[in-house]
Chain A
Amino acid sequence: MIDARGLAIGYRGGPTVLTDVTFSVMPGERVGVLGPNGGGKTTLMRALLGELESRAGTFTIEGRQGTVPQTERSRLDYPVSALDVVLMGALGRGPWWRRPGRAERALAQAALERVGLEDRARETFGELSGGQRQRVLVARALMQDADIVLFDEPFTGLDTPSAARLTALIDALAAEGRSVLVSTHDVGQARAWDHVLCLNGRMIEFGPPEHVLTETVLAETYEHAVIRIPDGWPRGVTQSAGASARA
């Protein structure tokens, strides 16, 4: 569960970049976080992960957090297998000096099976496709047994089948009672989730999609740079410069 009240966040030594954020995410809920590039989506994620401290307001997080960062920022040259990455989710499971053993390996393999990558366990992480890397990171969150899973722009660069598979995984995580927060540029995608949080340096709106995803709110969120795309266009091909969105 996440409960934030009047949150303000900034980077050390820098100005406050996100203000007046008030929202809550209950177990089993999927929340889409919308906003232009630089609008504060990643900043919010980093604050929720404890990387950045709040400058005002309060927030409460109950439960273990897992994160699925943007795979474009992953180190593709890093010498680890998919299984190694999933096993990173076992770090907090035992005493600090204990290395993952056979039981953790079995759990990690099961997590990979859950995301449909059981036959890729020994492949180097950087040699997997973008969608496969996303699923490995989801398996890592499963290995953590995370109650709250934060996705940072997970659909960027994914083709249609990969995006559909990831959407199904997000739905499955929520169905298990996990809170899921997904930052995205895809307004159409966010429409299918339980709540939407719109940010642009401050919170523009938070609530159910039918109340939040109005032309007025989107225009304020994206500073009037909203592109309307006819239904039926391929997903995930609309973004550039952070100022466009499917509406």
Chain B
Amino acid sequence: MLDALLEPWREPILRDALLEVVFVGLACGALGVWVVLLGRSYSAESLAHGMFPGLVVAALLGVPLVLGGAVGLIVAALAIAAGARLRSLGSNTAVAVVITSLLGIGTVFALSADSPPGLQNLLFGDVLATSPSDLALAAALAAAALIGSWLAYPYLLTYAFDPSAARSLGARPRVAEAAFALLLTAAVLVGVQALGNLLVVAALIGPAVAARTFTRRVPPLIAAASALGVACGVGGLYLSYYADVAAGAAIAGLLVTTAAIAALAKARLPTSDI
């Protein structure tokens, strides 16, 4: 049994992948809690999709993905702001139109026959193709997301609980929103390498939704979501190794399954038991 547990980690590729999923689990698990508490699941998904063309262009030009993601987000934000000003669209429809268009444009680039190999990994991820520089970047971004979350904690806690009173309490809504967007961007960039642009939302939402069912305070919720994120990442790698399935899909599958089981368990238990 112990041998079976240790066997995958004898491969250097899987050891790197293990580190990568730990970074993803910690960063996305912690930030996912704020995504759920602020009710921003759709925004988080839009953010991930909106930065996609920027990521593709960055990969094509050989510049850091962070830079591409940031530029992609600025372009998406400007396009959404412009679309929202059109009376025939409105803000919600503008988000949907702009994000879908950007995802489509990015996909055309990524899946083009002339594109260098590996670009499609930005869509579905390839945690087994993690390079040392990818790992270093993921570690730095995860550290930034976690330290930033710790610093922003009282402000996000106050803003998410009582947006109307936040300003008078010293948690300026615009600053809280900007901090949340920055931290979420860092977490998404960590997750894109492992799970890709389409599956990264599972790492954000799944652990937080599952942990929400058995925790009653935010600090344990963050700890539990991060732990579940890491556990599903490690479990996904085992699944991939022994069942010979794609690692990203296995991790995403475990994440959503965990969330679904937790939600079902909560629905079946009396409220006082949770």
Residues of A within 8 A of B (CB): 46, 49-51, 65-67, 69, 73-75, 78-81, 84-85, 87-89, 91-92, 97, 99-100, 124, 140, 144
Chain A residue nearest to B164 (CB atoms) is A69
Q: Are A51 and B167 in contact (CB under 8 A)?
A: yes
State in angstroms the CA–CA spacing of A213 and B157 once bound together.
42
Contact across chains for B169 and A79 when beta carbons are under 8 A apart: no
Inter-subunit contact A88/B164 (CB<8 Å) = no
Q: B60 in the interface, Cβ–Cβ < 8 Å?
A: no
The number of residues on chain B lying at the interface, defined by a beta carbon within 8 Å of a beta carbon of chain A, is 23
Q: Are B215 and A79 in contact (CB under 8 A)?
A: yes
Quote the shortest CB–CB distance from A151 to chain B (angstroms): 12
Q: What separation, in Å, do the CA atoms of A73 and B212 have in the docked complex?
A: 21
Nearest chain A CB to B149 CB, angstrom units: 12
Chain B residues within 8 Å of A124, by CB: 216
A69 pairs with B154, CB closer than 8 A: no
Q: In chain B, residues 149-170, which have Cβ atoms closer than 8 Å to a Cβ of chain A?
A: 151, 153-155, 157-158, 160-162, 164-165, 167-170
Q: Are A97 and B169 in contact (CB under 8 A)?
A: no
Q: Which residues on B are within 8 Å of A, measured CB to CB?
A: 37, 151, 153-155, 157-158, 160-162, 164-165, 167-171, 212, 215-218, 221
Within 8 Å by CB of A100, from B154, B162, B167, B171, lies B154
Let me know if A66 and B168 touch, CB within 8 A: yes
Task: List chain A residues, Cβ under 8 A from B170.
Answer: 91-92
Structural contact, B153 and A88, CB atoms closer than 8 A: no
The residue that A88 contacts in the complex, of B151, B169, B221, with Cβ under 8 A, is: B169
Please report the C-alpha to C-alpha distance between residue A100 and residue B215 in the assembled complex, in whole angstroms: 22
Centre residue among A80, A81, A97 by max chain B CB count within 10 A: A80
Q: Quick one: closest B residue to A143, CB to CB?
A: B169
| Residues of chain A with a CB closer than 8 A to B160's CB | 75, 78
Q: Does B218 contact A80, Cβ atoms closer than 8 Å?
A: yes
Tell me if A78 and B37 are in contact (CB < 8 A).
yes
8 Å CB contact of A84 from B37, B169, B217, B221 = B217
Q: Of residues A50, A79, A140, which shows the largest number of chain B Cβ atoms within 10 Å of its Cβ?
A: A79
| Cβ 8 A contact of A97, one of B151, B165, B218, B221 | B151
Kindly list 7 other residue pairs between chains A and B, CB separation below 8 angstroms, not including A51-B167, A75-B160, A140-B169: A65-B168, A79-B37, A79-B215, A79-B217, A79-B218, A91-B154, A144-B169
Expressed in whole angstroms, the Cα–Cα distance for A99 and B150 within the complex equals: 9
- A80 and B157 within 8 A (CB): yes
Q: B164, A67: Cβ atoms under 8 Å?
A: yes
On chain B, the residues within 8 Å of A97 by CB distance are 151
Contact A88 B158, CB 8 Å, known A78-B37, A81-B217: yes
19 pairs, CB–CB < 8 Å, chain A vs chain B: A50-B168, A67-B168, A69-B162, A74-B162, A78-B160, A79-B215, A79-B218, A80-B157, A80-B218, A84-B218, A85-B161, A87-B154, A88-B158, A88-B171, A89-B169, A97-B151, A124-B216, A140-B169, A144-B168
Q: Closest approach, in angstroms, between the C-beta of B228 and any C-beta of chain A?
A: 16
- Judge whether A79 and B216 touch: CB under 8 Å: yes
**Distance of A51 Cα from B171 Cα, bound (Å):** 12
Whether B164 contacts A49 by the Cβ 8 Å rule is: yes
Q: Which residue of A lies closest to B220 (CB)?
A: A79
Closest 7 CB pairs of A and B: A92-B170, A91-B170, A88-B158, A67-B165, A65-B168, A49-B168, A91-B169
In Å, the complex CA distance between A81 and B217 comes to 7
The residues of A that contact B155 with a CB separation of less than 8 Å are: 91
Partner of A99, one of B154, B165, B212, B221: B154
Choice from B37, B157, B167 contacting A50 with Cβ under 8 Å: B167
Identity of the chain A residue whose Cβ is nearest the Cβ of B162 in the assembled complex: A69
Q: Are the CB atoms of B165 and A75 closer together than 8 Å?
A: no
Q: Which residue of B lies closest to A92 (CB)?
A: B170
